[in-house]
Amino acid sequence: MAADLNHAGGRIAPGRIVIYTLLVLVALYYLAPLYVMLTTSVKTLDQIREGNLLDFPLDPSTAAWAKAWSGACTGVRCEGLAPYFWNSVKMVIPAVLISSLIGSLNGYVLAHWRFPGHNIVFTALMVGCFIPFQVVILPMARLLGMAELANTTSGLVIVHIIYGIAFTTLFFRNYYVTVPDELVNAARIDGAGFFTIYRRIIFPLSLPIFMVCFIWQFTQIWNDFLFGVVFGGADAQPVTVALNNLVNTSTGVTEYNVNMAAAIIAALPTLVIYLIAGKYFVRGLTAGAVKG
């Protein structure tokens, strides 16, 4: 009550000051690496060598960004990150859309069209969420080889779809069990079939959980390195593999400004996704948490 009176009278309670101070300090702590990356990426090499990491750029330049995008060497090729960035775009968009749609259908089935052994199937999918990447490398390599999709972007799309289905199914199933069975049963009585119920009832209610899956899958696929380096050929490698090659390729002078610019370029899509759709992610995770 006293805290409320203090706040109502124009004064901020001491407890709130402590909380706000801690939040600001934590935010600054987490933003410090981003500040260092941004400032270093626009500094000259001379200032980087002679100055401090936290120094503000004296003569900001975007030359390092231009080189990271289209001129830096990633091994024997000196085309920058641009071709690999677009490889990631071509990989992540279909993989996210397809894995989310399949997960939505699977979740719908497991939540409202129960069949003998559905609990076993759901348990198997949950186990699939905890299988390490390394376990599936050999069988996945064999599968892609048989399908003649090894070292291709299409092969990487298939890999991420298969690995992501367990997660998306889990998300959608847990969301759809909050949809009343009476609603689905009433549609069945009216003669609606499987896809009609999904299209007319389930799908329109699914925007929050679709946003969760889109953000989750986009982040996982875009940031993946292992599958990219194992299954991506020279012309199909994603941006994460190219970033690693760029940082570890040197001709005598380590260009820290170019490396920092390249790292930001590689991380930028996920940052943008979270800034734009972060609130939908939280809303989708909490949707259905309280039934009633």
Residues 226 and 111 both lie in one domain: yes
Query: 228 lies in a domain?
Result: yes
The answer on pLDDT for 2 being more than 50 is no
**For residues 147 and 250, which has the higher predicted lDDT (pLDDT)?**
147
Residue 292 pLDDT class (50, 70, 90 cuts): very low
d(CA 161, CA 204): 23
Residue 85 pLDDT class (50, 70, 90 cuts): very high
Q: pLDDT by residue (tens digit) across 178-208? A: 888 888 888 888 888 888 999 988 999 888 8
What pLDDT score was predicted for residue 136? 84
Q: pLDDT by residue (tens digit) across 17-55? A: 889 999 999 999 999 999 999 999 999 888 888 877 888
Query: 163 lies in a domain?
Result: yes
Sign of CA dihedral 169, 172, 176, 178: positive
What pLDDT score was predicted for residue 112? 86
What pLDDT score was predicted for residue 251? 67
Residues 113 and 226 both lie in one domain: yes
Mean pLDDT of 8-19: 76
Mean pLDDT of 118-130: 82
What pLDDT score was predicted for residue 278? 72
**For residues 114 and 153, which has the higher predicted lDDT (pLDDT)?**
153
d(CA 51, CA 178): 57
Mean residue pLDDT of the chain comes to 86
Residues 86 and 182 both lie in one domain: yes
Number of structural domains, the chain? 2
Query: 71 lies in a domain?
Result: no
190: tokens are 């009216």
State the residue range of the domain holding 109: 82-286
Q: pLDDT by residue (tens digit) across 49-84? A: 887 788 888 888 899 999 999 988 888 888 989 999
Contacts of 225 (CB under 8 A, 6+ apart): 240, 241, 244
Residues 10 and 141 both lie in one domain: no
In one-letter notation, the amino acid at residue 123 is T
Residues 46 and 106 both lie in one domain: no
Whichever domain contains 154, its CATH number is: 1.10.3720.10
Residues 270 and 178 both lie in one domain: yes
What pLDDT score was predicted for residue 221? 94
The full DSSP string for 167-211 is HHHHHHHHHHTTS-HHHHHHHHHTT--HHHHIIIIIGGG-HHHHH
**For residues 76 and 267, which has the higher predicted lDDT (pLDDT)?**
267
Mean pLDDT of 206-234: 90
What pLDDT score was predicted for residue 290? 44
Biggest distance spanned by C-alpha atoms of the chain: 77
The answer on pLDDT for 5 being more than 60 is no
